[in-house]
Amino acid sequence: MTRAAGLLCVCLSLVCGPAFAADCWVPNIRLLDNQTVQGSMLVVGGKRCSIVMIRSPGPIYSVSLVTPPANGSVSIHGDRLVYSPRAKYLGEDHFVYAREGKDPENRPIKRTVEISVQVKERL
């Protein structure tokens, strides 16, 4: 029972709550069809931070990096986007990603997110 409760808490935090780990914090980001929204990320220098893209109504065909970060890198692995700051970098960074697909009525949509990153010595 305890194992199931712990697993449920992990699942709920991925679906409903912000992503938080000892080295990273990403608040929930609510996407809007055919609009650009703002998001943020706190990450410890030298560590990676992930954004898990949760399923949405209608199929999503692609995730792409629109604007790469100036002081790090972003890689896309299926439904996970991973930011890695440049070695020994502390400060601000920024990147933009987009998800493209179809809405439930089969109309094309694009959901764009601008992420402001704070790379710090500790959270």
Q: What is the domain partition of the chain in residue ranges?
A: 18-120
18-120 has which CATH code? 2.60.40
CA distance 43 to 117: 7
Half-sphere exposure of residue 24, counting CA atoms within 13 Å on the CB side?
Answer: 16
Residue 59: pLDDT band (50, 70, 90) is: confident
Residue 57: pLDDT band (50, 70, 90) is: low
Q: What is the dihedral of CA 69, 94, 115, 122, to 10 degrees?
A: 100
CA distance 58 to 102: 5
Output the pLDDT for position 67.
98
Give per-residue burial for 52-80: e unless 16+ CB within 10 Å, then b.
ebeeeebebeebeeeeebeebebeeeeee
CA distance 25 to 87: 19
**In contact, 105 and 121? CB cutoff 8 Å:** no
